[in-house]
Amino acid sequence: MATNCARPDPDGLFDGGLLLHQPARGHRVGADAVLLAAAAPAVPRGLIVDAGAGVGAVGLALALWNPLAQAALLEKNPAAAALARQNIPLNGLEGRARVVEADLFDVAARKAEGLAEAADLVVTNPPYLACGAARSSPDSDRAMAHMLDEGGAEKWLRAGLALLRPGGIFVAIHRADALADLLAALEGRLGELRVLPIFPREGEKAVRVILRGRKGSKAPLALLPGLVLHEADGRFTPAAAAIHRQGRRIFPD
């Protein structure tokens, strides 16, 4: 059986600005979490919800960058939730961040935790793969993070929107080839929707898209110039390096 015990020493993101205990193997924080955090707007105060938070990378980064905001890390995997709880004091966020160990689809739990239509900002990185459409990982935590039932990504987005107050901002990252389904799931629910393609290298197909919009707005969709992550030699482009190392925001607010 696969084991995913945490490393004895925490890992650092954003040049060590965020410290994380995370599994030594299995599902680990990667570029998607970094990009999702960088795509979020500033939140002067109010509530940030990281839906499917894992060990808390995105929600905790946003709490650090928004010192008057509160953060709720919503995660159903007990092992990931336990690590997220360790990461709160590790980053000095006691009193401003909390773990909600519950399923995003559990309406009663969302209400009991005070999350129903409560958030000023919801960020989420939904599982990418439909059960049955791809081979599941033998690591149970990785499989849980990557797999949903057929149509689950669309349901996930709608459940995430149920956490958001009217006028709040929703940000998600997902596979580029799922864009049509994602837009269908958000139609009539988000306005001011901005779509940002993420390209591995210049001239290659997009592999990810970031979607950001405002709940209840009627403003039209905008397709933005894409972000290229790597030079031909594999190094980060200057824009990607600034995001990964300094946490530079992707969208001008």
CATH number, position 36:
3.40.50.150
Tell me which residue range forms the domain holding 186: 11-246
Inside any domain, residue 156? yes
Alpha carbons 129 and 184: distance in angstroms, whole number: 18
Cα→Cα distances 22→2, 19, 78, 126, 200, Å? 15, 10, 13, 19, 25
Residue type for 123, please? V
In this prediction, residue 138 carries a pLDDT of 46
User: Is 5 a domain residue?
Assistant: no
pLDDT at residue 133, as a whole number? 47
Check residue 23 and give its pLDDT: 87
Is residue 197 one of the residues assigned to a domain? yes
Assigned domain for 1 exists: no
pLDDT at 204: 97
Residue 163 lies inside a defined structural domain of this protein = yes
| Mean pLDDT, rounded, of the chain | 89
Residue 130 is predicted with a pLDDT of 54
Report how many domains make up the chain.
1
In the predicted model, residues of the chain with pLDDT beneath 70 are: 1-8, 26, 129-151
In-domain check, residue 162: yes
Q: What is the pTM of this model?
A: 0.89
Q: What is the pLDDT of residue 7?
A: 61
Q: Is residue 252 part of a domain?
A: no
Looking at the chain, the whole-number percentage of residues with pLDDT higher than 90 is 81
Maximum distance among all Cα pairs of the chain, rounded to whole angstroms: 50
